[in-house]
A and B are shown apart, each in its own frame.
Chain A
C-alpha cells in the first residue's frame, strides 16, 4: 500500500527566505504527483502536477522536482511572502488507480513579515 510522508509537519520562516518542502512515497510505481495548497477551512488548490516521466515542473516562484527511483519530491517556493502561509500537501497517483490520489498529511507553513 502506498504511503506518503511529508516532513516537516510545520515550518516557520521569515519573509524573503526560500521554502523547501519534502514529500516521500514508498511505491515508486506512480503515474503522477501533485502539489496542493490548502488555506484554513478551505478546499485544495492544485499548484503543480508532475508526470512520472518528468523531473520537474515550474510555475512562477514555485518549482517541484520528482525523483521516482528514490520516492521523493521537493517543492521549492522562492522568496517567500506572508501570503504563502498555508498547508501544502502532496498526493501521488498510482498506475492503476484511475484518478485516485494518496495524500500526505501536509506541511503547515507560516511566513512571518
Chain B
C-alpha cells in the first residue's frame, strides 16, 4: 500500500490567484515527480526531484515551480493561475533504484475560472 497524499483533491479558483498543491509521502522515497494530465490524454512530466534541494523541469514546459526542502514533501506552486492551467496534477514517488515501481497520489483536479 503506497502512502502518498495530495491536497486539495479538488480546487476551483479565479484567474490570477497564487496556489500551492501539496504532495507528501511517508515511504522515505528519494525521487518524486509531478505530472499533468488532461482528460483522455497521456501524463506529461512537469517536474521531478532526486532528493532534498534537487529539482528539475520535466519534458512538458510548465509555469509552475516546485521545492524540495524535506524528503517527504514536494509542493507545486502556481504564482498566477490562468484557465490554461486547468488540469489534473498527479504526484508520484519511487525509492530510487532503477527497478522500482512508481507510486502515485490520488491527484488534484484544478479548475481556473
Residues in chain A within 8 A of chain B (CB atoms): 4, 31-32, 34, 36, 41-46, 49, 51, 89, 91, 93, 98-101, 103-106, 108
Contact B99 A43 (CB under 8 A): no
Contact B104 A101 (CB under 8 A): no
* Interface-located stretch among B11-19, B36-44, B61-69, B72-80: B36-44
A99's partner among B59, B90, B102 (CB-CB below 8 A) is B102
Size class of the B contact interface (CB-based, 8 Å): 20 to 34
Within 8 A of A (CB), among B81-113: 88, 90, 92, 94, 96, 98-107, 109
Which secondary structure characterizes the binding site on chain A? Answer: strand
Contact A44 B104 (CB under 8 A): yes
Within 8 A of A (CB), among B18-72: 31, 33, 40-45, 48, 50, 58-59
User: Given A42-B107, A43-B106, A89-B42: A99 and B94 within 8 A (CB)?
Assistant: yes
B-chain residues with CB within 8 Å of residue A43 when the two chains form the complex: 6, 90, 104-107
Contact B102 A46 (CB under 8 A): yes
User: Given A4-B42, A104-B42, A105-B42: A99 and B107 within 8 A (CB)?
Assistant: no
